Amino acid sequence: MSINYYGPADYSGYLFVQGFQPAVTSNTTMTFAAGSASAYTNGFVMQYPGNIPNLPGNITVNTANIGLNGVFPVALAAVTPESGWAVLPVYLVANSSGTTDGNLNGTVAPGIVIGTGAAFLPAGFDSYLQIGIAIIDSSGNLVPYVQNGSGVEREICFHDGQQILNAGASGTYAKVDITLLPEDNITAVNFAYAFTPGAAADTASIAPWGLTVSSRAPVVIKAAAAVAIDGVFTMAVGDDAGVAAIQYVVSGTDTLSLWVSGFRYCLPLPGSI
């Protein structure tokens, strides 16, 4: 008697996103270039080709508006962080009855909303998919960034890094949470550092949170002399109860400061669809 261990392969994954590259043009507006995406709800193809008669080539989202091409369902002030930065999902929304075979009919076009709550789909729309993120600072302003990548994996770089460690001096491995980022779907984080050694040959070591470093950490910063040095590195991060985290240690009377200058991520981010 033979036993069949065959099981069907599961190739399911996130629906596709192409284009929709964002540009942050002011404290309140984001502009999205042409693109297309398949809807989470029904697989319907939502398109904004940029050449629809009587419509602009790009979609501009204004955070001062509550509704289509703005924030929804509540004003941005309701989700603005008291300190630091917050990441909000950006959704393409459409009405599937306004198109035929995935092609726009010229009278009904999709729009974009920055999701400020669970009920992010405005009335009159039945299709949606997350196509990106908006980053908000504690003043309720959009944080400018540059983004690369056209599919579900994207990489962003900030205009200014967000500091996560200021003159850390721990002689044993200490955790540093990156509260800006959830751990899920973050593929790598770009860091900038400033290391001030107390003596030549002193080191700072950095590793993802959750690992036990027994010899050499994945990232080691070594000073040739007792002078401050600046640099950058990219590293995967660990998980601290759903929050991205790393750990660091310095070898002497040293200090280490760290900033997040950008990150790579895959759509959708946790809590988004």
Give residue 269's pLDDT.
Answer: 83
Give per-10-residue mean pLDDT for the chain (273 aa): 48 76 92 91 85 84 95 96 92 78 55 94 90 94 90 91 96 95 91 96 96 94 92 96 95 96 91 74
- Sorted by where each begins, the domain ranges of the chain are 17-151, 159-266
**H, E, C per residue of 70-122:** EEECCCHHHCCCCCCEEEEEEEEEECHHHEECCEECCCCCCEEEEECCCCCCC
Do the Cβ atoms of 61 and 23 come closer than 8 Å? Answer: no
The dihedral through the CA atoms of 97, 103, 105, 111 has a sign that is positive
CA 132 to CA 14: how far, in whole Å?
13
- The closest of 224, 171, 231 to 197, measured between CA atoms, is 224
Give the CB-side neighbour count of residue 229, counting CA atoms within 13 A: 18
Torsion of Cα atoms, 128 then 129 then 132 then 134, to 10°: 40
Please tell us whether the domain made up of 159-266 is placed in CATH 3.90.1150.10: no
Phi, psi of 7, rounded to the nearest 5 degrees: -135, 145
The amino acid at 39: A
Contact 62/114 with Cβ under 8 angstroms? no
- Residue 38's CB: how many other CB atoms inside 10 A? 19
Contact 269, 89 (CB under 8 A): yes
Question: What is the pLDDT, as a whole number, of residue 250?
Answer: 97
Region of residue 75 (left: phi > 0; alpha: psi -120 to 50; beta: else): beta
Q: What pLDDT is attached to residue 107?
A: 46
